[in-house]
Amino acid sequence: MKMKHFTYFLSLFLILITFIFSANSTIVSHDDRAITINGQRRILISGSVHYPRSTADMWPDLINKAKDGGLDAIETYVFWNAHEPERRQYDFSGNLDLVRFIKTIQGAGLYSVLRIGPYVCAEWNYGGFPVWLHNMPNMKFRTVNPSFMNEMQNFTTKIVEMMKQEKLFASQGGPIILAQIENEYGNVISSYGAEGKAYIDWCANMANSLDIGVPWLMCQQPNAPQPMIETCNGFYCDQYEPTNSSSPKMWTENWTGWFKNWGGKHPYRTAEDLAYSVARFFQTGGTFQNYYMYHGGTNFGRVAGGPYITTSYDYHAPLDEFGNLNQPKWGHLKQLHTVLKSMEKSLTYGNISRIDLGNSIKATVYTTNEGSSCFIGNVNETADALVNFQGKNYNVPAWSVSVLPDCKKEAYNTAKVNTQTSIMTEDSKKPEELEWTWRSEAAQKPILKGSGDLIAKGLVDQKDVTNDATDYLWYMTRVHLDKKDPLWSRNMSLRVHSNAHVLHAYVNGKYVGNQFVKNGKFDYRFEKKVNLVHGNNHISLLSVSVGLQNYGPFFENGPTGIKGPVSLVGYKGEETIEKDISEHQWDYKIGLNGYKNKLFSKKSVGHDLKWAAEKLPTGRMLTWYKAKFKAPLGKDPVIVDFNGLGKGEAWINGKSIGRYWPTFTSSDDGCKDECDYRGTYGSDKCNFMCGKPTQRWYHVPRSFLNKSGHNTITLFEEMGGNPSMVNFKTVVIGTVCARAHEHNKVELSCHDRPISAVKFASFGNPVGHCGSFAVGTCQGDKDAAKTVAKECVGKLNCTINVSSHKFGSALDCGVPEKKLAVEIEC
């Protein structure tokens, strides 16, 4: 009782303080149980949405859908290299308008979590670090290096000052309740020795000195220096306990799915398993959790990290790349959030008792004076359970958690999905045929003869000379061979030890071949037979980067480009000789002329230069293509099909929609038709699209398009392709299904189109999955399809009560709960 009074008076006191000092400010703090807001412990559900991975036009819709999905907060990183592309030259325009993003969150009435980093990982190019930073003298990242600390402090301070100026911290009445400094440093700290500890202490002091008035987080940082709050990241965090027992149990990254690499498959994390991980976390005392990602989005331009992260960053998140609801994930989580929120008081103030029911089944009871809330978790991966708990029976499937807000009735079970599945597809309209013009990359001829804009003895690291302003760097040298050369009487080949993400080789103007990485090893040997001539031979190597590494201790020093040695090898029978040419004088040409001249832009230099309409080449390397097109009608998201193209970059009206590489397909093996949600998820667990292009379709944001006039698509085709198959489509709902459990309600909707027909409905023990449902061994005696049709056809949405009363008291189906399977047509 005493304790309760004390808490009560404390809350009152804090509220009073709030009023006295600032009518608007919110006091954010924490105790051992939870984050507190104005003295109240809170259950907070947050989701990551990275502002540069969508467009400012998309933000309000994404944030509203997040709010509708039951989130309290939106979390984002801050992307240093996007904001400070050159030292002390800043960009906060367009989709980099951080202030506008935070204000949009505020406008929707949500909180915001600002993870400044400024190291962010995030599958973002170079983990968010600018490459100019790496190229400063005496630089060492993420340790006690004065130059690094100075720059990190400078950027962090700038962001904090911007936020303060706009009064965006909760302490000023704004939406930002939490901030983060550094990122997952605990994973790598041991590689930095004693300096690592000194550095993380410095980070804490530096952050603290910025006086933002809300708590700072450090994720994956056991024993975070005070007053930083440590948090957990991972697919599950139920086993996690903060090292400091005064810290609340917080989960800053719950990976809702996974990202994609070129050459990889589509990752897929089921709604059941994601909901299970969340419910487990709250069952085991968690009070703050963040979905990474809630909306993944798109890596526009060259922002993808890597190497080899794809342009799509869909992540199989609750909102898909285009901002559509990823159903059933979005809806299934929304229901969980509603139930958890209804238990906020008991979860944050209740006494906790745990009951072991055997066979990996555990119940947790949270008790306050006002009542109790319960969880029953079945961690067994295979055995469904009929559990007797406090005198009542509950059916708790394997690998699931039942939530009982009053400890008497199951309000939610993570494995019982009562949300519709929406399968998105491209529209079936006949696409516009495009008329292409083309021209070759103008630089080619002089380059292949070896003239560049920088000369050095020996081989250079790519990012050291390009500052990563471009993906492309030419390495060019001459080799003089006279008749006395011992190579001469032999078969000769060019051998290149390379770290280039893609390498193209030319000898005397002729293409010799390319190589790229197929097994994740970015350190390989290229070797191809070549024909050399007496006198001078020109060797030209084009090194292409496909996203800079973003993770790992000292990742910033990973070699890029052609590390060498580069040699000519002569073979005679078993005997080989090697002529190392690495230390020759090399000419370097940074970037491609078409980029320099902005061929993708209306303001292109030399637009008077001809684009040919005749003899459209296919399979031709280093070629630019251009076509006009009309924007697809309506509001549905626009996508472009790049099937037929090789590899390159694409622009719409001068704006880059990212790198493309549809010829890079995933391996044939490792896919299953169906994904079993049970058992520990990992990024390899449920993959789809084996043997298919990793990414065939690319997002064209509506705001890049002119609705009424012409639009221009420009392609730079690096490897050779056929643009005649390129076409624009929109993303629409294809099939809508549901498989809902008895005693529940299920809502069906075709988004903004009316429901046109019921394709299938059966109540009982139906089998199969969406698209291939079939009647099981029993079903209710009323016509289910007719019943659903009566309630749904012609409407934008309908809610069906799943009950025997409605569908006919079926017979003993031999299952604990009957299900309704429905497929509707939109």
Ligand X SMILES: *[C@@H]1O[C@H](CO)[C@@H](O)[C@H](O)[C@H]1NC(C)=O
Catalytic residues: 184, 253
User: What is the DSSP annotation of 700-764?
Assistant: E-GGGS-SSS-EEEEEEESS---GGG-EEEEEEEEEEEEEEETTEEEEEEBTTB---EEEEEEEE
Nearer to ligand X, 665 or 801 (CB): 801
Tokens (6 digits) for 396: 């708790």
Distance CA 695, CA 265 (A): 9
Residues 6 or more apart whose CB falls under 8 angstroms from that of 7 comprise none
Nearer to ligand X, 584 or 751 (CB): 751
Tokens (6 digits) for 54: 């969508």
Nearer to ligand X, 531 or 536 (CB): 531
Place of tokens 């209710």: 780
Sign of CA dihedral 86, 88, 91, 96: positive
**Could you say which of 6, 21, 22, 154 contacts ligand X (CB under 6 A)?**
154
**What is the smallest separation between the CB atom of 388 and ligand X, expressed in angstroms?**
16
Q: Which stretch, 97-105, 361-369, 421-429, 592-600, contacts ligand X (CB under 6 A)?
A: 361-369
Tokens (6 digits) for 384: 């469904």
Nearer to ligand X, 18 or 157 (CB): 157
Nearer to ligand X, 292 or 394 (CB): 292
Q: Is 6 in the site for ligand X (CB under 6 A)?
A: no
**Could you say which of 55, 310, 560, 749 contacts ligand X (CB under 6 A)?**
749
**What is the smallest separation between the CB atom of 570 and ligand X, expressed in angstroms?**
8
Distance CA 252, CA 218 (A): 9
Q: Which stretch, 375-383, 405-413, 477-485, 515-523, contacts ligand X (CB under 6 A)?
A: 375-383
Nearer to ligand X, 74 or 541 (CB): 74
Q: Which of 390, 416, 419, 177 is nearest to 279 (CA)?
A: 416
Amino acid at 639: I
Distance CA 745, CA 331 (A): 12
Nearer to ligand X, 392 or 795 (CB): 795
Q: Is 722 in the site for ligand X (CB under 6 A)?
A: no
Q: Are 769 and 776 in contact (CB under 8 A)?
A: no
**What is the smallest separation between the CB atom of 202 and ligand X, expressed in angstroms?**
16
Nearer to ligand X, 572 or 769 (CB): 572
Q: Which stretch, 38-46, 565-573, 586-594, 609-617, contacts ligand X (CB under 6 A)?
A: 565-573
The neighbour count for residue 400, using CB atoms within 10 Å, is 26
Cα→Cα distances 361→28, 185, 377, 400, Å:
36, 35, 6, 10
Cα→Cα distances 103→155, 215, 675, 684, Å:
21, 20, 39, 38
Reading phi first (left if > 0) and then psi (alpha if -120 to 50, else beta), residue 308 is in left
Q: What is the DSSP letter of 583?
A: T
**What is the smallest separation between the CB atom of 735 and ligand X, expressed in angstroms?**
18
**What is the smallest separation between the CB atom of 571 and ligand X, expressed in angstroms?**
5
Tokens (6 digits) for 215: 């708590």
Tokens (6 digits) for 644: 């037929």
Q: What is the DSSP letter of 788?
A: H
Q: Is 165 in the site for ligand X (CB under 6 A)?
A: no
Q: Are 688 and 265 in contact (CB under 8 A)?
A: yes
Distance CA 217, CA 186 (A): 13
**What is the smallest separation between the CB atom of 140 and ligand X, expressed in angstroms?**
19
The neighbour count for residue 425, using CB atoms within 10 Å, is 12
Nearer to ligand X, 30 or 538 (CB): 30
**Could you say which of 5, 88, 610, 615 contacts ligand X (CB under 6 A)?**
88
Q: Which stretch, 42-50, 134-142, 153-161, 534-542, contacts ligand X (CB under 6 A)?
A: 153-161
Q: Is 683 in the site for ligand X (CB under 6 A)?
A: no
Nearer to ligand X, 111 or 807 (CB): 807
Q: Which of 799, 797, 802, 794 is nearest to 757 (CA)?
A: 794
Nearer to ligand X, 226 or 536 (CB): 226
Q: How many residues bind ligand X (CB under 6 A)?
A: 39
**What is the smallest separation between the CB atom of 431 and ligand X, expressed in angstroms?**
20
Q: Is 367 in the site for ligand X (CB under 6 A)?
A: yes
Interface positions, 213-242, toward ligand X (CB under 6 A) = 226, 233
Per-residue binding letters, 299-338, with ligand X (x by CB under 6 A): ----------------------------------------
Q: Is 635 in the site for ligand X (CB under 6 A)?
A: no
Q: Is 551 in the site for ligand X (CB under 6 A)?
A: yes
Q: Is 246 in the site for ligand X (CB under 6 A)?
A: yes
Q: Which stretch, 111-119, 365-373, 494-502, 626-634, contacts ligand X (CB under 6 A)?
A: 365-373
**Could you say which of 7, 64, 244, 643 contacts ligand X (CB under 6 A)?**
244
Interface positions, 697-716, toward ligand X (CB under 6 A) = 706, 708-710
Cα→Cα distances 568→324, 448, 455, 493, 530, Å:
54, 18, 21, 6, 9
**Could you say which of 29, 187, 508, 643 contacts ligand X (CB under 6 A)?**
187
Residue number with the smallest Cβ distance to ligand X: 709
Q: Are 540 and 506 in contact (CB under 8 A)?
A: yes
**What is the smallest separation between the CB atom of 491 and ligand X, expressed in angstroms?**
4
Per-residue binding letters, 413-452, with ligand X (x by CB under 6 A): ----------------------------------------
Q: Is 135 in the site for ligand X (CB under 6 A)?
A: no
Distance CA 196, CA 189 (A): 5
Distance CA 253, CA 50 (A): 13
Interface positions, 765-824, toward ligand X (CB under 6 A) = 795-797, 799, 801
**What is the smallest separation between the CB atom of 225 and ligand X, expressed in angstroms?**
7
Cα→Cα distances 77→102, 112, 118, 252, Å:
12, 11, 8, 12
**Could you say which of 14, 17, 383, 789 contacts ligand X (CB under 6 A)?**
383
Q: Is 360 in the site for ligand X (CB under 6 A)?
A: yes
Question: Using alpha carbons only, how large is the chain's radius of gyration in Å?
Answer: 30
Q: Are 538 and 476 in contact (CB under 8 A)?
A: yes
3-state helix, strand, coil in the chain (%, to 5): 20, 35, 45
Q: Is 191 in the site for ligand X (CB under 6 A)?
A: no
Tokens (6 digits) for 200: 């993380």
The site for ligand X (CB under 6 A) is made up of 88, 121, 123, 154, 157-158, 184, 187, 226, 233, 244, 246, 255, 292, 351, 359-360, 367-369, 380, 382-383, 490-491, 551, 571-573, 706, 708-710, 749, 795-797, 799, 801
